[in-house]
């Protein structure tokens, strides 16, 4: 999924193009969420591919874990990571927020 496909592209007065801010949905806790303890070498894109079949959905895991560092695809070793399972609802809400 290209998460920027529905994000508005704007132009500065000098013609430089940029995307408007991307808005992410709130992902509430669910009894169906999965929890894993990270091991050496885990990356959010690989985990997204493992659980969702799409490495570009790494941002879902990051948004669901707000206490995690936002500047890396590598979670801390031994970190308990929440993996939301209701991916369809999350993606629908993302589309609604950014359309």
9-11/17-19 β-pairing: antiparallel
Q: How many CA atoms lie within 13 A of 83 on its CB side?
A: 19
Q: Are 20 and 63 in contact (CB under 8 A)?
A: no
pLDDT class for 55, splitting at 50, 70, 90?
very high
Domains of the chain (ranges; CATH) run 25-97 (3.10.350)
Over residues 20-30, mean pLDDT: 90
Closest of 56, 80, 57 to residue 67, by C-alpha = 80
- Report the pLDDT averaged over residues 21-45: 95
């Amino acid at each position: 999924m290209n998460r920027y496909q529905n994000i508005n592209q704007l132009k500065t007065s000098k013609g430089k193009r940029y995307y408007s801010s991307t808005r992410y949905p709130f992902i509430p806790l669910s009894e169906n969420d999965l929890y894993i303890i990270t091991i050496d070498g885990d990356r959010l894109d690989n985990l997204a591919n493992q659980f969702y079949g799409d490495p570009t959905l790494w941002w879902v895991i990051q948004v669901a874990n707000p206490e995690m560092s936002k500047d890396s695809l590598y979670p801390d070793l031994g970190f308990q990571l929440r993996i939301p399972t209701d991916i369809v609802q999350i993606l629908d809400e993302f589309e609604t927020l950014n359309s």
